[in-house]
Amino acid sequence: MNRAKGLLTMFLFVAAFIAVPAKAESIASFPKDFLDWPVVKESVNLPADAVLPPDTSLFIQESVRAYSWINNGLGSPLTIRVHPNKLAEYRTHGPYSDGPTAVAVSEAQGIVWVTEHIGGEAVYGSYNRQGKDISHQHPSLQPTFCQSCHTTYKDICINGTCAEPVLDVYSE
């Protein structure tokens, strides 16, 4: 094989790899001890038939709609826990030190959403209670989807966390 042909083969080989869509994977790691973390908020994933007040912000409408499939559309209690060493950081919406920061646990279905900080940046992950990565099980469980809210809505979700102290709307 001449050199040019060799390079071409090599290129096609690499291109084939790049073309394969990357499997969604959690970036935040699973905090095994999350059940020992203090609860900062008891909230809900609203059911699919929830009627929101007409003046509900677009952000909240999107948040509700994104997870209305949870528990077959019946909704679920949602428990928010924060790493014991990060309570003060959470109250001020950061800046955050490195490591797992907060979890939101959708209780009915046992989904553990994880936000972790690495070098000050928020990264995300979705696990079941046993710590199995489930981010590939639904488009809304993929880290890029988490980013589309948590990192994009910078006026509401500051430094990657959305709930406290801004969104009282959610607490009953």
Contacts with ligand HEC by CB under 6 A lie at 41, 43, 62-63, 66, 78, 80, 102-104, 113-115, 124-126, 141, 145-146, 148-150, 161-164, 167, 170
Cβ–Cβ under 8 Å, residues 77 and 109: no
For residue 60, the minimal CB distance to ligand HEC (Å) is 7
The C-alpha R_g of the chain, in whole angstroms, comes to 19
**CB closer to ligand HEC out of 6 and 139:** 139
For residue 93, the minimal CB distance to ligand HEC (Å) is 8
Q: In the structure encoding, which two tokens stand for residue 107, read together? A: 């209780």
**CB closer to ligand HEC out of 62 and 72:** 62
Handedness of CA 71, 115, 84, 167 (dihedral sign): negative
**CB closer to ligand HEC out of 15 and 102:** 102
For residue 164, the minimal CB distance to ligand HEC (Å) is 6
**CB closer to ligand HEC out of 10 and 50:** 50
Burial group, residue 11, by CB count within 10 angstroms (0-12, 13-18, 19+):
exposed
Q: In the structure encoding, which two tokens stand for residue 24, read together? A: 């969604």
Question: How many angstroms separate the CA atoms of 112 and 80, rounded?
Answer: 10
Question: How many angstroms separate the CA atoms of 124 and 30, rounded?
Answer: 10
For residue 54, the minimal CB distance to ligand HEC (Å) is 19
For residue 166, the minimal CB distance to ligand HEC (Å) is 9
